[in-house]
Amino acid sequence: MSEENVTNEAAAVQADINTNDDWRSSLPEDIRGAKAFDSVKDVGSLAKQFLDAQSHIGNSIRIPGEDAGQEAIEAFNQKIMNKTNLMHKPETPEDYANVFKAMGKPDDANGYAIPEDVTGSYDHLKELALNADMTNKQFESLVKSVAQLDAAAVETQQAQQQESMNTLKKEWGAAFDQNNNQAVAALEATGAPESVIELAKAGNVDGQTLKWFHALSQKIGGGEGSNAVADNGGNQVMTPAEASAQLAEIMENTKGPYWNTAHPRHKEIQDKAMRLRKLRAGKAA
């Protein structure tokens, strides 16, 4: 390379350096010294920063002015939701409807879904949920809570029913099956609803109800509440209370056949007393 070429190249490089250093000289004097330009090395860098700023402005969200129309306001609200997943504060019924819909409220009651792990019928809650502006997720939570309350109520009811039935079994002793059959027969004879009869047959009534059914059967049969009935073999089946009362009568009759070994009914009454003791204990004689 000739000396002249080297000199020309060096001059060009120096010109570029001078141009980069002095690029502000082309700016108006009142903004030439702005600190915002301190990080700008040359005109190319300035142009790039300008383009980046324009792009940012294009993606920014501008709040509509006080004179903006409803269309501009709705567009702004939609832009907020799209860009930030935020919602504007609702003011009108339409605003609230849009918010609830965006949150997951279905268009009608059929849009609600019963959770798969919930048994039972809870479709009646769908209309309630719709009127309360519930989302599908809120509806699922409601159904599960109601189902748990229902299950707890059923469990409590069953426990109380079983407790009352156990009390009645203890009261009736060996006469329980016989009295239960009489109660069912009374229901059938009086034309009780089939559902009630089936509940009684299945033992799905509480003890007090079954006792009332049995008292009804005694009145129908003319027994007026008698505690003793004959089984199929002709034997007396009675409650522990009645057995205890009859046994007391035998034992208190000191001149009766039980205490008189010479009496022709001595063995008979002794055997009866034995059966009564079993019945008093709630056992079959």
Look at the alpha carbons of 53, 59, 64, 69 in this order and tell me if their dihedral is positive or negative: positive
pLDDT at res. 265: 87
Task: Please state which of the ranges 8-12, 43-47, 182-186, 267-271 shows the lowest mean pLDDT.
Answer: 8-12
Task: State the average pLDDT over residues 122-135.
Answer: 93
- Between 10 and 94, whose confidence is greater? 94
Task: Please state which of the ranges 26-30, 43-47, 77-81, 92-96 shows the lowest mean pLDDT.
Answer: 77-81
Task: State the average pLDDT over residues 195-215.
Answer: 91
- The H or E element containing residue 263 is none
pLDDT-derived band of residue 114, with 50, 70 and 90 as boundaries? Answer: very high
pLDDT-derived band of residue 37, with 50, 70 and 90 as boundaries? Answer: confident
Domain ranges, ordered by start, for the chain: 3-47, 78-102, 227-285
On the question of pLDDT at 224 being above 90, the answer is no
Is 243 exposed, middle or buried (CB count within 10 Å of its CB: 0-12, 13-18, 19+)? buried
pLDDT at res. 28: 82
Mean pLDDT of the chain: 79
pLDDT-derived band of residue 274, with 50, 70 and 90 as boundaries? Answer: confident
Q: Are 115 and 148 in contact (CB under 8 A)?
A: no
Task: State the average pLDDT over residues 110-126.
Answer: 91
pLDDT per residue over 39-62, tens digit each? Answer: 778 877 767 776 666 565 555 666
pLDDT per residue over 241-256, tens digit each? Answer: 888 888 888 888 888 8
On the question of pLDDT at 143 being above 90, the answer is yes
On the question of pLDDT at 8 being above 70, the answer is no
On the question of pLDDT at 232 being above 60, the answer is no
pLDDT at res. 261: 85
- Between 281 and 138, whose confidence is greater? 138
Q: What is the pTM of this model?
A: 0.49
Rounded Cα distance between 125 and 96, Å, is 22
Task: State the average pLDDT over residues 163-181.
Answer: 91
Look at the alpha carbons of 267, 268, 271, 277 in this order and tell me if their dihedral is positive or negative: negative
Return all residues near 234 (Cβ < 8 A) that are at least 6 apart.
Answer: none
- Between 125 and 85, whose confidence is greater? 125
pLDDT-derived band of residue 233, with 50, 70 and 90 as boundaries? Answer: very low
pLDDT-derived band of residue 17, with 50, 70 and 90 as boundaries? Answer: very low
- Between 91 and 191, whose confidence is greater? 191
pLDDT at res. 235: 52
On the question of pLDDT at 164 being above 90, the answer is yes
Return all residues near 178 (Cβ < 8 A) that are at least 6 apart.
Answer: 229, 231, 237
On the question of pLDDT at 6 being above 50, the answer is no
